[in-house]
Structure 1
Amino acid sequence: MPRRLLDALYWAGAAVAALALLGIFLLMMAQVVLRELGIQLPGADDLVAYLCVASAFFALAFTFRRGELIRVGLGIERVPPGMRRWAEAAVLALAAAITATIVWWTWQDAMFSLEIEEVAQGTVPFPIWIPKLSMPLGSGLLLLALLEELWRVAVAARKPAYVAAAEERAARGDFSAEV
């Protein structure tokens, strides 16, 4: 896939995550105001929970590409530079396999919820398959980013984008992601 299309997909995931966060904020503020007026907002708690899941899953690929996900580099950083590429490739392959499993099972779960017409048990019976889709879709974006990085490291023999991004931040004196 062309670089621009992949970046657009990752940005779209981040935008959906940002909109989910905005939705959480608006729902919570609406609840505060309405409580003062003695009015309840039915289903708000359920919606906030669904939006929390969406904000986490849709942000994964964008965050990964920027090198801002928590990553334990203690092992890889101790590997000699000549073998580091293969260690990165092995870790990326393992992460891709685990993520593919997550995509598969969360997709199966969402489709099963659609098949049995499962609804939320809260005050408003939302069709539960809709919020469940955020898990396989967000994980699918992450899987795409992992496979892209695996190709970049194993086939193109280039430095992973997340490593390059972290190095660029360090060169600018920005250590905020390292805290």
Structure 2
Amino acid sequence: MTVFIRNALTRLYLFSGGCAAFSLFSLLFLVIVQMSSRWFELDFPGLSNYAGYCLGSASFFGLGYALNHGSHIRVTLIVSHSGEFRKFIEVTAVGVSMVIAGWFAVHAVINNINSFELGELSQGQDVTPIWIPQLAMSLGAIVFFISLLDLFLCLLLSRAIFSTALTTDNKEF
């Protein structure tokens, strides 16, 4: 059962990273189209808004994947000198981060539902229902919360770290 859950979480993180990569490639494509349209004096209104949506999507979808692969910036000044309190500090820091990410994910989903129910449209020329780009933020925030919960449980239960999220010298818990 544990192996099944671990494989499912790994696939979730990879899918989230794939969505982030797709968003970045879409952003690149939109920037190229926007540059080309200026050269040929064509007008595609709202392209900059869609580029912004892709950037937000890439940012939020990348959070869980980056945490799982150890790409988040960590300040280890306190942790490296904490000695026997190292595990306590790690668990506390990840726990606080998890609570904040969970709070953000809940409110992102609530905001997304409200935007859908009210039929809100973007302010730009693209007139996109705003719940569509907000959906990427909500899903990315949920995946990030899940990855922090995963890390928290691994640290709390003194199991091997799920990936390289914590540096290799932290595997001695």
Q: Structure 2 length normalisation: TM-score?
A: 0.90
| Contact 1:85–1:157 (Cα < 8 Å) also in 2 | no
Amino acid of the residue matched to residue 138 of structure 1? G
Corresponding residue number in structure 1 for 2:121: 119
1:12 paired with 2:15, answer yes
Residue 25 of structure 1 aligns with which residue? 28
Distance (whole Å) between structure 1 residues aligned to residue 161 and residue 132 of structure 2: 38
CA distance in 1, matches of 2:162, 2:7: 17
Distance apart, 1:159 and its partner CA: 4.4
Call closer, same or farther: CA 1:160–1:92 in 2, change over 3 Å: farther
- Calculate percent identity across the aligned residue pairs: 24
Cα deviation for residue 90 of structure 1 reads 0.8
Residue identity in the other structure for 2:126: V
AA aligned opposite 1:167? T
Task: Tell me the TM-score normalized by structure 1.
Answer: 0.87
* Aligned residue among 70, 79, 87 for 2:82: 79
Q: Indicate yes or no: 2:103 matched with 1:62.
A: no
Q: CA RMSD in A?
A: 1.5
What residue number does 2:168 align with? Answer: 167
Gaps of 5+ in 1: 169-179
For residue 42 of structure 1, give the secondary structure of its aligned residue in structure 2: coil
Post-superposition offset of 1:83: 2.2
Query: 4+ residue runs of structure 1 moved beyond 4 angstroms?
Result: none
**2: CA distance, partners of 1:160 / 1:91:** 17
State the Cα deviation string for residues 45-74 of structure 1 (Å, max 9, x = none): 110001100000001111111111111111
Letter in 1 for 2:17: A
